[in-house]
Structure 1
């Protein structure tokens, strides 16, 4: 297989572009972006193509834009696969609830067999706390189709209920995957007939994230646990201490149900 620099050269030659053409086009991008780092000088382009010099991020972006190449694919030519980002981060996952910021604007194509969102909640992954996921992750394999049927995935976010999060158990089991509609942040005060159709919300607070039933009392938001969970309600000043991320509109549970790590009195 050709070296990355040679592949970039081939892409340039297919378009009939000279070094000078590439430099001038990159200058236009630099002007649009108001950043001179996007410029690809003649000498740098020669080094990239002929001496194996790895282009800096801004210059690589310009070359992909000029040559009509997929940025993620070109990164793979250089041995950096954006698709591996989440899987490589697994060993670094903190125990506390946290947001996954991966892929709100995904880089390049995601090969998922027709579904835009690959997910993997690896059995070996120590996600002990509720996790906020955005757009895609790679630890469970494919995202359950029932969560995205008839939906535009770009309009939703995802949360992983931590293995130590028993707040809504048994309605929501630890390890569950939640589909979040971030456009629906208004806490409902009525309109449900049972616990199964009572709205659930994903909350962000100073300690992390929480999936809960919610009620409002003036400027106070009360996060209410499932009565069988043994947890106690949490009270927040709203909006100073809490943010409603969105409404839970879908749930997928793990097959290997976690055991409770502690018994509450």
Structure 2
């Protein structure tokens, strides 16, 4: 997925309008005393069309989209942790500078479109540190936000029965965001998708019926088949490629920490 499409989908997923970005980025520019932080509607359209923004505008986008600057840099192929790997080695007789620590910026905005995770409902995780803390440590070392997203299956969501039980963590490949029409011989071979719809998110089997996206539950689930108009009412975020499930069944009103 290219950078512009990734940014647009994240913005739409978090219900951030272009006018929100204009308003908030203008307040950042005023607070900083630097108009380079302002992201106009036309500039946003250019960025979502594939242009590369300046570091100032990237900072404003990180604030507006409630994500980290590090995550947005990764979208453009820049991993700040690789800086030390490409450090220039001093030649013979040259002066070697001391290594300095990379500091986190102390400037932060609290926005009115912040969201928190409801453990009872299936939730798509953002890439903020507090949400990434739910991921297994080994997984955190290989994050690729340009391709993979993660979701927590709600404690009240038994859509996929014991295949992907409530409380599970799933890894979603966003490059596989088209419903696959192919032969499968067992239920476990059938592709499972993470779906956004007007009522939230669902992890399930699905199929296209004309212009409707049909959400199909596991046979032993308490859920029913649901239909949404696509793309206005529902869309495929991607295919589930990995899942981490709890060893014990979680009660529906447990708290997830």
Q: CA deviation at 1:33?
A: 4.2
Q: Give the one of 175, 182, 190 matched to 2:167.
A: 175
Determine which structure has greater relative contact order: mean sequence separation of CA pairs < 8 Å that are 6+ residues apart, divided by chain length.
2
Secondary structure of the corresponding residue to residue 196 of structure 1: helix
Determine which structure has more spread, i.e. the larger CA radius of gyration. Answer: 1
- Return closer, same or farther for 1:30/1:93 CA change in 2, 3 Å cut-off: closer
d(CA) in 2 for partners of 1:147, 1:246:
18
For 1:241-252, list aligned pairs within 5 A. 241-252=233-244
List runs of 5+ in structure 1 lacking aligned partners: 1-28, 36-56, 59-67, 96-126
d(CA) in 2 for partners of 1:144, 1:94:
18
C-alpha RMSD over aligned residues? 3.8
What is the TM-score of this pair, normalised by structure 1? 0.51
Q: Give the one of 177, 187, 199 matched to 1:185.
A: 177
- Return closer, same or farther for 1:33/1:93 CA change in 2, 3 Å cut-off: closer
d(CA) in 1 for partners of 2:145, 2:232:
30
d(CA) in 2 for partners of 1:163, 1:70:
39
Secondary structure of the corresponding residue to residue 189 of structure 2: coil
d(CA) in 2 for partners of 1:251, 1:213:
15
Counterpart for residue 30 of structure 1? 34
Counterpart for residue 249 of structure 2? 257
List runs of 5+ in structure 2 lacking aligned partners: 1-32, 40-58, 61-99
Structure 1 runs of 4+ off > 6 angstroms? 148-151
d(CA) in 2 for partners of 1:31, 1:69:
29
Q: Give the one of 185, 202, 215 matched to 1:210.
A: 202
Q: Is the 8 A contact 1:204 1:245 kept in 2?
A: yes
Secondary structure of the corresponding residue to residue 34 of structure 2: helix
Q: CA deviation at 1:137?
A: 4.9
Counterpart for residue 236 of structure 1? 228
For 1:110-189, list aligned pairs within 5 A. 127-138=119-130, 141=133, 143-144=135-136, 152-189=144-181
d(CA) in 2 for partners of 1:183, 1:201:
12
Q: CA deviation at 1:192?
A: 2.2
CA deviations 1:153-173 (Å, max 9, x no partner) are 542111000000011111110
- Return closer, same or farther for 1:147/1:31 CA change in 2, 3 Å cut-off: closer
Q: Is the 8 A contact 2:212 2:227 kept in 1?
A: yes
CA deviations 1:205-246 (Å, max 9, x no partner) are 111110110011111111000001132110111112111111
- Return closer, same or farther for 1:148/1:140 CA change in 2, 3 Å cut-off: closer
